[in-house]
Chains A and B, each alone.
Chain A
Amino acid sequence: MLEIKNITVSYGIATALWDVSISVQNGKIVSIIGSNGAGKSTTLKTISGVVHPKSGTISLNGDRIDQLPPHQIARLGVSHVPEGRKIFPFLSVIENLKMGALPVKDSKRSDELLKNVYELFPILQQRRNQVGGTLSGGQQQMLAIGRGLMSDPKVLLLDEPSLGLAPIIVDTVFDVIIQLNRQGHTLLLVEQNAYRSLEVAHYAYVLETGKMTLEGEASTLIDNPHVKKAYLGR
């Protein structure tokens, strides 16, 4: 279980998160929704160690991870799929995937992981020797998620996986999220597509200007009048 307790995060003098607590139970999909600038990406970056909290704690299955460097957090089982895909544009698909598998020392296990990624995204196997930067936006997103899975994560952090994708590809991305969860993966999801993300999540949090203002079962939040007006545009 991933437990974020009362974290406060600042960039210089600007505080991005105030006393935020999030709990991600194993095997669940948890979603964070909020406007631009609310602190959603900062939350994910703090979990993966790209930034460190000024106060508060983060623990993974009971062990503190909040002061560790990102590569150690990745090795402990937190995989971050960043907003905007951030694949290695000059490496091939297979090289990108292998970069993701660096924390995995057992080569048999990394072969299994690769097989699983190819089953989820057959297009990546077809294009395995193509340079990442020449893939379409949707394929790059699949590659980014695939690379995230190659480290055999306990928790997968997904930042805006449907951003800028065609409707039919958005469907695929959400299908994959559900499928990964069925395989037993734990996911923490940040999405602008609040409706779709609440549809697939078990539990959700609402962030507003750096503060957690609402939390609950996703199926309840989807009908919450404030959420409807502020985030679903209905």
Chain B
Amino acid sequence: MILQSHDLVKSFGGVTAINHLSLEVEKGTVFGIIGPNGSGKTTFFNLVTGMFPVTSGKVTFNGRNITGLRPHQIAELGIGRTFQIPAPFTKMTVLENVMVSTFIRASSLRESRKMAWEILERIRLDEKGNTLVANVTLEDRKRLELARALGTKPSLLLLDEVMAGLTPSEVKGAIELIRSLRTGELTIIVVEHIMDVILSLCDRIAVLDYGEKIAEDVPDQVVNNPDVIKAYLGDRYSARN
């Protein structure tokens, strides 16, 4: 197991955002997390990456307890993430933005630039490398968000709604892109509301509701689970598909 959470709890004042959550993610897989808005998906990412302190429970990465480590330490250990609302440096170029990330692994400006170009090529954003971020489209900003996460050379990548706001045709391209990242070396956890994305990428899916895991299974089973239909998908989703 590359990532495990054991009985994880996070409370904000009187609200329990994550309620005794235990998850296990196997190395090399794509693991999906779905659930209603406010069910704790992003909070889970924030706990794993050390953005928020946990209330109780622990997180282990490759068997090592990482609970309580600082976000930059967790990034150094190999967990990369994207943010739901990208906040790139708009007055810098696409390349420079990625270099900010690659510096965590590079010892010189030259090396960090080289690594950044490689990532841009890998996700087919190299043509925009020298463009100021202020001038790129939302689709490219979403790609840049992915590039910045890949810049830290993660072995575990957390993707938080990287496809929100894309048209269905753009989503298709983005699915292909993420599929191409799947090399066996990289484990990916995907939070997404677009079910086409979840179903076409994920090996396993966990469903959260009010911070608790209400289901975890392979995609076909999850979409037919009555609790999941009730809490998240809706009757009409199952009728349509």
Measured CB to CB, the residues of A under 8 A from B are 33-37, 134-139, 160, 163-171, 192-195, 229-234
Q: Which of A139, A165, A233 meets B168, CB within 8 Å?
A: A233
Spot the interface stretch: B23-31, B116-124, B180-188, B229-237: B229-237
Asked if A171 contacts B169 (CB within 8 A), the reply is no
Complex Cα gap A160–B164 (Å): 10
Q: What would 11 more interface pairs be, CB under 8 Å, given A233-B172, A234-B168? A: A33-B167, A35-B170, A36-B138, A138-B38, A139-B38, A164-B161, A166-B35, A167-B233, A168-B231, A195-B168, A231-B168
Residues of the B chain whose Cβ atoms lie less than 8 Å from the Cβ of A134: 15
Asked if B138 contacts A233 (CB within 8 A), the reply is no
Min CB gap A219→B, angstroms: 18
Complex Cα gap A110–B125 (Å): 50
Pull 26 A–B residue pairs with CB atoms less than 8 Å apart, ordered by A. Answer: A34-B167, A36-B165, A36-B166, A37-B137, A37-B138, A37-B139, A137-B37, A137-B38, A138-B36, A138-B38, A139-B38, A163-B164, A164-B161, A165-B37, A165-B193, A168-B36, A168-B232, A168-B234, A171-B236, A171-B237, A192-B165, A192-B166, A194-B168, A229-B169, A231-B167, A233-B168
Closest 4 CB pairs of A and B: A136-B38, A233-B168, A137-B37, A168-B234
Residues of the B chain whose Cβ atoms lie less than 8 Å from the Cβ of A33: 167
Residues of the A chain whose Cβ atoms lie less than 8 Å from the Cβ of B84: 164
In the complex where A37-B138, A37-B139 touch, is A166 in contact with B37 (Cβ < 8 A)? Answer: yes
Complex Cα gap A33–B169 (Å): 12
Complex Cα gap A224–B171 (Å): 20
Complex Cα gap A171–B239 (Å): 12
Min CB gap B178→A, angstroms: 16
B195 contacts partner chain A, Cβ-Cβ < 8 Å: yes
Complex Cα gap A138–B37 (Å): 6
Complex Cα gap A167–B37 (Å): 10
In the complex where A37-B139, A138-B37, A233-B172 touch, is A167 in contact with B167 (Cβ < 8 A)? Answer: no
Asked if B169 contacts A230 (CB within 8 A), the reply is yes
Residue of A nearest to B169 (CB): A233
Min CB gap A37→B, angstroms: 4
Q: Which of A36, A232, A234 meets B137, CB within 8 Å?
A: A36
Residue of B nearest to A162 (CB): B193
Asked if B137 contacts A194 (CB within 8 A), the reply is no
Question: Which B residues between 145 and 180 are near A, CB-CB below 8 angstroms?
Answer: 161, 164-172
Min CB gap A106→B, angstroms: 35
Residues of the B chain whose Cβ atoms lie less than 8 Å from the Cβ of A194: 167-168
In the complex where A136-B36, A233-B172 touch, is A168 in contact with B233 (Cβ < 8 A)? Answer: yes
Min CB gap B214→A, angstroms: 13
Complex Cα gap A120–B167 (Å): 28
Min CB gap A202→B, angstroms: 21
Asked if B170 contacts A167 (CB within 8 A), the reply is no
Residue of A nearest to B233 (CB): A167
Question: Which B residues between 4 and 38 are near A, CB-CB below 8 angstroms?
Answer: 15, 34-38
Residues of the B chain whose Cβ atoms lie less than 8 Å from the Cβ of A232: 168-169
Complex Cα gap A171–B193 (Å): 13
In the complex where A36-B139, A192-B166 touch, is A166 in contact with B232 (Cβ < 8 A)? Answer: yes
Min CB gap A82→B, angstroms: 13
Asked if B234 contacts A36 (CB within 8 A), the reply is no
Residues of the A chain whose Cβ atoms lie less than 8 Å from the Cβ of B165: 36, 160, 163-164, 192
Asked if A164 contacts B164 (CB within 8 A), the reply is yes
Residues of the B chain whose Cβ atoms lie less than 8 Å from the Cβ of A163: 164-165
Residue of B nearest to A37 (CB): B137
Complex Cα gap A225–B110 (Å): 48
Asked if B193 contacts A36 (CB within 8 A), the reply is no
Asked if A167 contacts B169 (CB within 8 A), the reply is no
Min CB gap B81→A, angstroms: 17
Question: A-facing mask of B209-241, CB < 8 A → 1, else 0?
Answer: 000000000000000000000011110110000
